[in-house]
């Protein structure tokens, strides 16, 4: 989520550039009076293929804390293979200045999507993903210590979407994750495996 102002310039029918001035990292209201900057580049070489590159730069610390800059880049590619089949690849990487050492804490994530439209109302998406966070930054703490363990998980998911109208989507999704370390808590103790089934309703206006 981003709140702020943006300027968009269409270089041509295939290339669009955007600059942003933001309240911060997913902030509706300003938290420290330090504005963040963002950029977006979208290139559509064909009607079916889209490349996106987005960046974020800012300081997300409270006013009474030392400045620790955060950098983030989001890259994705989407491809409409057919009228029913859509593919996507996503890669994110971020760095934030560490509180307890010189240098940066790093996190990155990647995912691949295959979406198929079963009929006019129902679609299904298969996803494979991983997430890595150095010393658990953004997972266990925004300010991880030097002894915190790295966070590394990956796994598949499958969902079904039912859209009776263009403004309502019902979803049911099954997801499985496996961790490098036994971080998931179960009744029988910590485990490297985790799975769930969730449902949701999304409304748009």
Q: In b/e form, how buried is each residue of 55-93, taking b as 16+ CB within 10 angstroms?
A: ebebbbbeeeeeebebebbbbbebebeeeeebebebebe
Q: Are 136 and 147 in contact (CB under 8 A)?
A: no
Structure tokens at 72: 């983030």
CATH 2.40.160.40 fits 4-146, yes or no: yes
Question: Listing from the earlier edge strand, what are the strands of the sheet with 15-22?
Answer: 4-10, 15-22, 36-43, 49-59, 69-80, 85-97, 104-117, 122-133, 151-165, 168-179, 193-203
pLDDT tens digits, the chain, 205 residues: what are they? 677 789 999 999 999 999 999 877 766 666 667 788 999 999 999 999 999 999 999 887 766 677 778 899 999 999 999 999 999 999 999 998 887 778 888 999 999 999 999 999 999 999 999 999 988 887 776 667 777 788 899 999 999 999 999 999 999 999 999 998 888 888 888 899 999 999 999 999 8
Residues 6 or more apart whose CB falls under 8 angstroms from that of 204 comprise: 166, 167, 168
pLDDT computed for residue 149 by the predictor: 81
Can you give the three-state secondary structure of 139-154, one letter per residue? Answer: CCECCCCCCCCCEEEE
**pLDDT value at residue 38:** 92
């Amino acid at each position: 989520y981003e709140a702020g102002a943006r300027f968009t310039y269409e270089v041509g029918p295939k290339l669009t550039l955007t600059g942003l001035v933001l309240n911060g990292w997913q902030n509706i209201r300003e938290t420290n009076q330090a504005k963040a900057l963002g950029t977006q580049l979208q290139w559509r070489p064909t009607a079916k293929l889209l490349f996106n590159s987005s960046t974020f730069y800012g300081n997300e610390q409270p006013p009474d804390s030392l400045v620790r800059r955060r950098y983030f880049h989001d890259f994705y590619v989407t491809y409409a293979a057919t009228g029913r089949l859509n593919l996507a690849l996503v890669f994110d990487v971020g760095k934030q200045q560490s509180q307890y050492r010189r240098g940066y804490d790093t996190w990155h994530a990647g995912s691949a999507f295959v979406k198929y439209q079963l009929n006019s109302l129902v679609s299904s998406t298969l996803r494979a993903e991983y997430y890595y966070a150095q010393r658990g930054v953004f997972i266990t703490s925004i300010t991880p210590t030097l002894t915190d363990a790295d966070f590394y998980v990956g796994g598949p998911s499958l969902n079904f979407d039912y859209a009776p109208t263009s403004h309502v989507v019902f979803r049911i999704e099954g997801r499985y994750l496996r961790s490098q370390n036994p971080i998931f808590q179960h009744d029988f103790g910590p485990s490297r495996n985790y799975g769930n089934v969730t449902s949701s309703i999304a409304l748009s206006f």
